[in-house]
Amino acid sequence: MPAQPSHNPPPVTPDPGPEALRADARENRERILRAAREAYALHGIDVPISAIARRAGVGVATLYRRFPTRTSLITEAFTEQLTECAGALDEALEDPDPWRGFCTVLRKVCAMQAADRGFTHAFLARFPGDTAYAGERDRAEEGLALLVRRAKEAGALRPDFDVSDVVLTLLANNGVANGAGPQAAAASRRLVGYLLESFRAGPATGPLPQPVGLELDRLGGTG
């Protein structure tokens, strides 16, 4: 649907969208995102913008024209992984064995956390006034609650497990992923192994400390 040639005035070009860009600009946009993902995965979320620009082979101004603020770049860079997480949850929900689905999704997301230094930061960080992920997050919370309920009803997940314990797991895994250096992946696997054993319904488990109402959006690094 080609537009009228002479005047088709978008009010203030609020967000042209990547498709409306000139070919070279779109190419550069992709290069920037790739460079950002690599840099975040390797060095965490604190890498300077200039380093990303250098890695992408573009000037700083180019980066800023495409991603006006630091957080907009981070948001965009991790959308792919967030989608992957959502996909893992969907798969888990389709598994006829809810406990297996539960284990699989936790293992998968934790492995992603361990493989990418920046991912967790982006995943858990509070983006000031940001609603970019809100939709995904709500959907994830619903799906998670459903999965947990099913696993409990199947008698495989302990009854005093709380949905917020998933967030607890992610936070704990985050600590391991960020702290264990080159052994992050292996350490994360072992932690998740321990926790899943704990989560499994068993004969004689004593009372746990109270669950905490951790929510995905109330988490955040240093605030």
- Which of DNA, a copy of itself, none does residue 199 bind to, with CB < 5 to 8 Å depending on kind? a copy of itself
Identify which of 103, 86, 107 has the alpha carbon closest to the alpha carbon of residue 95. 103
Q: Which tokens go with 21?
A: 């860009």
Task: Compare residues 48 and 211 and give the one whose CB is closer to DNA.
Answer: 48
Which parts of this chain interact with a copy of itself (CB under 8 A)?
43-44, 46, 117, 124, 165, 168, 171-181, 183, 186-187, 189-195, 197-199, 202-203, 205-206, 208-214, 218-223
Identify which of 188, 192, 172, 171 has the alpha carbon closest to the alpha carbon of residue 180. 188
- Which of a copy of itself, DNA, none does residue 210 bind to, with CB < 5 to 8 Å depending on kind? a copy of itself
Task: Compare residues 131 and 210 and give the one whose CB is closer to a copy of itself.
Answer: 210
Residue 84 contacts residue 179 (beta carbons within 8 Å)? no
Q: How far is the CB of 23 from DNA (least distance, A)?
A: 3
- Which of DNA, a copy of itself, none does residue 96 bind to, with CB < 5 to 8 Å depending on kind? none
**CA dist 93 to 12, 52, 88, 136, 140, Å?**
43, 37, 9, 16, 11
CA distance 31 to 73: 12
- Which of DNA, a copy of itself, none does residue 143 bind to, with CB < 5 to 8 Å depending on kind? none
Residues of this chain, 52-71, that bind DNA according to CB under 7 A = 57-62, 64-66, 68-70
Residue 148 contacts residue 101 (beta carbons within 8 Å)? no
Task: Compare residues 2 and 207 and give the one whose CB is closer to DNA.
Answer: 2
Identify which of 208, 206, 203, 204 has the alpha carbon closest to the alpha carbon of residue 161. 208
- Which of DNA, a copy of itself, none does residue 23 bind to, with CB < 5 to 8 Å depending on kind? DNA
Q: Which tokens go with 67?
A: 């991603």
Please enumerate in sequence order all residues whose Cβ is within 8 A of that of 114, keeping only pairs 6 or more positions apart, or say none: 173, 176, 177, 184, 185, 187, 188, 189
- Which of DNA, a copy of itself, none does residue 219 bind to, with CB < 5 to 8 Å depending on kind? a copy of itself
Q: How far is the CB of 131 from DNA (least distance, A)?
A: 18
Burial of 110 (0-12, 13-18, 19+ CB in 10 A): buried
Q: How far is the CB of 44 from DNA (least distance, A)?
A: 12
Using the contact rule CB under 7 A, the part of the chain among 16-24, 94-102, 114-122, 186-194 near DNA is 16-24
Enumerate binding residues for DNA (CB under 7 A).
Answer: 5, 21-25, 28, 48-51, 57-62, 64-66, 68-70
